[in-house]
Amino acid sequence: MSKRDELSINQQELTEAWQRTLPDTILKADRAEVKADEADSKSLRVTIHTAGHQMYSFDFKVTYVDSREIQTTLIDVEKDGKSVDERTDIIQQLVEDYTRHIHECAQALHELTHV
């Protein structure tokens, strides 16, 4: 049995790296916020605000399963500060897109997270 592939970067450094990198992986007009998850040192909270008139914001929890693999969980979708039905086609499409962008960001940070 090999040693478990643990994340080797502290949460603060990881959060800062995500804050620098995620804006490059999402649409230029969209805005992303990244915060440390207070309850889980292997997780981050990512909020993506869509550009344009839709005024959607998507809250994700991003958890490092190991130093390379992340698990992305949609927590909430809001429009104008109110929760909306996440099952609509447009919301599902955006969730898929943002999940892909989040994974691209994690891949871009492999040199930091994987030793």
Q: Residue 50: what pLDDT?
A: 93
Task: Give the model's confidence band at 3: pLDDT under 50 very low, under 70 low, under 90 confident, else very high.
Answer: low
- What token pair was written down for 40? 């889980």
Contacts of 17 (CB under 8 A, 6+ apart): 9, 109, 112
Q: Which CATH class is domain 11-113?
A: alpha beta
**Model pTM score:** 0.91
pLDDT tier at 1, thresholds 50, 70, 90 = very low
* Span 24-76, pLDDT tens digits: 999 889 999 999 999 999 999 999 999 887 789 999 999 999 988 999 999 99
Closest by CA to 36, choosing from 13, 8, 68, is 13
Joined tokens for residue 94 = 């955006």
